[in-house]
Structure 1
Amino acid sequence: MDKNQMSAVLQDVRKAYRLLADYQQRIIELLDFTKDKLGAEHYYHDLPNNYSPQSIHKIYTDENVGKRFLPMLDMHLLWHKTKSIPEGEEWQNHLQKDDLVFDIIVKSNETETSSALHLYVYQCVKYTRKNNWYRDVWYNSDYPNFGEVGIYKDNSDLIEYCIYGERIDLADLFNEQEANKIIEAFKSRTSHALGCKI
């Protein structure tokens, strides 16, 4: 490779960075719009393809380092929608029947035929806190097939959730009007599947 070729490659990289930054900005705006439409609040995030500050030293020997610097790849967001939280209290201590948690995954990896949002809704049947919601429910439960309702129960019979999920192609969410229509349709289908208002 000569200097001109290297300059061309670096120009492509700068263009790719701008495209990636624009994509991530739009996805975050879409996620914020969706969160507001669902009436939910941020609880937790998981960046499975990213380094924690404590493990950044591994970049020098990691064969997947390029991929792992793409922070939104398969990013998980957990949002909660809790009916009654006393002032100054933590939402996980006051969960009631039909309170909800939304698990949103931005899927853009090589196993997907297109970029998509995977949206799962966890409907509380009963919940008595042991550790935290992430550990008590999300970490231990399995996703149902899209369009089906799954059940999660813990061994102590103190925790039970119904889980429903759908896949939404990001290309279908191309403007606010379409996004609003798709999210409202998702809410309607989910409400019907779970038997409660989303």
Structure 2
Amino acid sequence: MTTNENLGAALLDVRKAYRLIADYQTSMLNLVNDVASNLDVQYYSAHHRYTPPRNYNNPPFGLRTGVDYLPLLDVTYLYLNREAYEQGRINGPQAGDYLIDFRLVSDSKLLDEEQGREPSPPEKSASLLITYLFLARESFPQDTNWYHKIWDNARYPVSDGIWESEGNMPLAVCRIPIQLERFVDASQPAMAAAEIRNALTSGQHLVADH
């Protein structure tokens, strides 16, 4: 095969890959929405760990890598309990308010790197929807913003299904990981939502005055 033929075959693979990724990302957006729609929550914000440069007047060449242009490789979608959102408690959450962090990790190699482990090959890695729950154990001061002062300063727990106290904040956190293969069954978004509700219920004993 000539060099041109090799390049042509590679570019064909790239075109196929981009179309596959586009379909995958559409499915993942629908998946997060399906799980959230089974809960009494309201979309709040998002955090993309890989993003292209914001200032397009500055050339990215030599400063950016291909992974920076894959924002859904590792992305978080944040939801607040509906009552808190509708009553404007984005700032100053009250005891019992909670934030749900749906973290889509398309390749668990990212978690290996995050935790200082040797990255696993694709065949031994996983694609995950990790749900992190952040529960206000006490009411926060009125100027305390959920995103900037709480979520952005909290650490992710590393144990599954166990409520942990977070630092100096009156906050409890819990982690529920789900492998994406599980969602081949159309009933799974509702079942995942039920797991989240059960975890939130189990955490209510941590809330002051409960």
- In the other structure, the counterpart of 1:174 is 184
TM-score (norm 2): 0.79
Count of matched residue pairs? 189
Q: Give the AA of the match of 1:183.
A: A
Distance 1:181 1:56, change over 3 A: farther
Secondary structure of the structure 2 residue equivalent to 1:139: helix
Rounded to whole Å, the distance in 2 between the matches of 1:85 and 1:75 is 21
Rounded to whole Å, the distance in 2 between the matches of 1:36 and 1:189 is 17
- In the other structure, the counterpart of 1:118 is 130
Q: Give the AA of the match of 2:79.
A: W
Q: Give the AA of the match of 1:66.
A: G
Given candidates 129, 149, 156, the residue that maps to 1:143 is 156
Secondary structure of the structure 2 residue equivalent to 1:176: coil
Give the Å deviation of 1:131: 4.8
Structure 1, unaligned runs of 5 or more: none
Rounded to whole Å, the distance in 2 between the matches of 1:5 and 1:20 is 22
Q: Give the AA of the match of 1:176.
A: A
Q: Give the stretch that moved more between structures: 177-186 or 167-176.
A: 177-186
Rounded to whole Å, the distance in 2 between the matches of 1:130 and 1:94 is 6
- In the other structure, the counterpart of 1:51 is 52
Rounded to whole Å, the distance in 2 between the matches of 1:38 and 1:81 is 9
Following TM superposition, where does structure 1 have runs of at least 4 consecutive aligned residues deviating by more than 6 angstroms? none
Q: Give the AA of the match of 1:178.
A: Q
- In the other structure, the counterpart of 1:67 is 67
TM-score (norm 1): 0.83
- In the other structure, the counterpart of 2:26 is 25
Distance 1:55 1:124, change over 3 A: farther
Bigger relative CO (Cα 8 Å, ≥ 6 apart): 2
- In the other structure, the counterpart of 2:10 is 9
Q: Give the AA of the match of 2:131.
A: L
Give the Å deviation of 1:58: 5.2
The answer on whether the counterparts of 1:149 and 1:194 sit within 8 Å (CA) in structure 2 is: no
Secondary structure of the structure 1 residue equivalent to 2:178: strand
